[in-house]
Amino acid sequence: MSQYDVVIIGGGPGGYNAAIRAGQLGLKVACVEKRETLGGTCLNVGCMPSKALLHASEMYDAAMGKEFATLGIEVKPKLNLSQMMAQKAESVTQLTKGIEFLFKKNKADWIKGAGKIAGPGKVEVTAADGSVQTLEAKNIVIATGSEPTPLPGVTIDQKRIVDSTGALSLAEVPKKLIVVGAGIIGLELGSVWRRLGAEVTVVEFLDRITPGMDTETAKTFQRSLTKQGIVFKLGAKVTAAETSKSGVKLTVEPVAGGEAETLEADYVLVAIGRRPFTEGLGLESVGVTPDKRGVIETDHFKTSAPGVWAIGDAIHGPMLAHKAEEDAVACIELIAGKAGHVDYNLVPSVVYTAPEVAWVGKTEEQLKEAGVAYKVGKFPFTANSRAKINHETDGFAKILADAKTDEILGVHIVGPQAGEMIGEYCVAMTFKAASEDIARTSHPHPTRSEAGRQAAMGVEGWTMQS
């Protein structure tokens, strides 16, 4: 029986980063992963492959649409979907191999198989061939992540009705694609197939897209997507699905009540959210009971059972790879007797569509609800030179700051490469920066980052370039 300081169940961004950090700190660590590759949902069937397709489809769209012609590049592009998928798979393989290398470098053992807690300090691993081994662990970290939430009345067959995993590997471009759920995943994958030629309709239960996103930002974002041809059906719920060989008939009812209608499509993507993957982990053997959504309660990653910790999507907080990574570092540092800490208010969110949307901190709605007096600085990309040059003028940067102290409370960016711009504000807010601190910091010209600075100036009314 192998003895470890830490055994991690799950090799996604939470688990693999935990393993690396544990190795760095000199802990004897094993990471149990049931997939054939490390990296979890994120690398295998999530963030990475979706970004590969988003990038490729954006290029295709630019070549196909007016943009290339406007730039004076005349081409007649032809889609080679299998090549697009192959290059995606190639990138993913390189990335998962990279994690394997990092494991070796940091002396973290990768145990292939499905992990399950078998009483205090014991993890049972069942390999693909059915063989079972038991690991002894002073600490067990649950990093099992999440899975797509199923939609009652709609069965995912991964043929005509797919979840995010299936939508990353469609064998053809749908003529009509219905996306159920106007969250980040649905809009990203909807964008991919829209750019590749599908007619895309997004059906959303709520009367807005991307819940949790700053409302003004979400509206601007929705306008951009609509311009690209995505059709939104908001305030509508899917009550039934009928699958045939050639497609799906979806029954959709207005949430507010009214006539049901039938929508037809050759593919349906169900992307209504994700839920923690915490079943079948033997949690009962140590007396840990997840709540009814499957979330494991923790106090700074400590579960109710001694020596059992949990991180990432399996616990509270945004279900994001980088949040899981933060959890991982903090949890392992706490195990090692150090001072790990995560500020969940400063975990950024990004939607990798075109334009991108990125934000960190509070939305205007949250500030209003909390009764915080705040000031707003906003700057449109139409007035940003770089965005103008690149014909990418949709969106804006918006900075919310405390009315009295000027501390930045929230930053919301819709625009190209917003995801790359938000990091600046994560740092700034970690250091409790004021909007003026951004306004008085030199930003390179011409870049989109200047829009953020101009917005910061706007908080105190001295935006100079609009």
Partner 1 sequence: MADIMTPALGESVTEATVARWTKKAGDAVRKDEILVELETDKVSLEVAAPADGVLSEILAAEGDTVEPGAILGKMSEGGAAAAPAKAEAPKAETKPEPKAEAAKAPAPSQPEVMTTKPAAPSAQRIATENNLDLAKVGGSGKDGRVTKGDAIAALETRANAPAAAAAPAAPRALHEREERVRMTRLRQTIARRLKEAQNNAAMLTTFNEVDMSAVMALRTEYKDVFEKRHGVRLGFMSFFVKACIAALKQVPDVNAEIDGQDIIYKNHYDIGVAVGTEKGLVVPVIRDADDMSLAGVEKAIGAMGKKARDGQLALDDLQGGTFTISNGGVYGSLMSTPILNAPQSGILGMHKIQERPMVVKGQVVIRPMMYLALSYDHRVVDGQGAVTFLVKVKDAIEDPQRLLLDL
Closest approach of Cβ 428 to partner 1, in Å? 9
To the query of whether residue 55 is one of the catalytic residues in this protein, the response is no
**What pairing do the DSSP bridges indicate for beta strands 236-243 and 356-361?**
unpaired
Nearest to residue 225, comparing CAs of 259, 192, 268? 192
Q: What is the DSSP string of 305-349?
A: STTEEE-GGGSSS---HHHHHHHHHHHHHHHTTS-----GGG--E
Query: Nearer to partner 1 by C-beta: 231 or 346?
Result: 346
Interface contacts to partner 1, rule CB under 8 A: 3-5, 25-28, 138, 336-338, 402, 404-407, 430-434, 436-437, 440-441
Angle at 323 between CA 318 and CA 326, to 5 degrees: 150
Closest approach of Cβ 456 to partner 1, in Å? 10
Query: Nearer to partner 1 by C-beta: 248 or 434?
Result: 434
Residue 335 phi/psi, 5-degree rounding, is: -60, -40
Closest approach of Cβ 62 to partner 1, in Å? 39
Residue owning tokens 């929705």: 222
Cα-only R_g, the chain: 23
Closest approach of Cβ 464 to partner 1, in Å? 17
For residue 407, what is the DSSP state? B
At 383, the amino acid letter reads A
Angle at 371 between CA 365 and CA 373, to 5 degrees: 90
Query: Nearer to partner 1 by C-beta: 187 or 332?
Result: 332
Please pick, among 300, 341, 391, 445, the residue that the annotation labels catalytic: 445
Nearest to residue 79, comparing CAs of 171, 164, 147, 148? 171
Closest approach of Cβ 457 to partner 1, in Å? 12
Burial class (CB in 10 A: 0-12, 13-18, 19+), 119: exposed
Known catalytic residues?
445
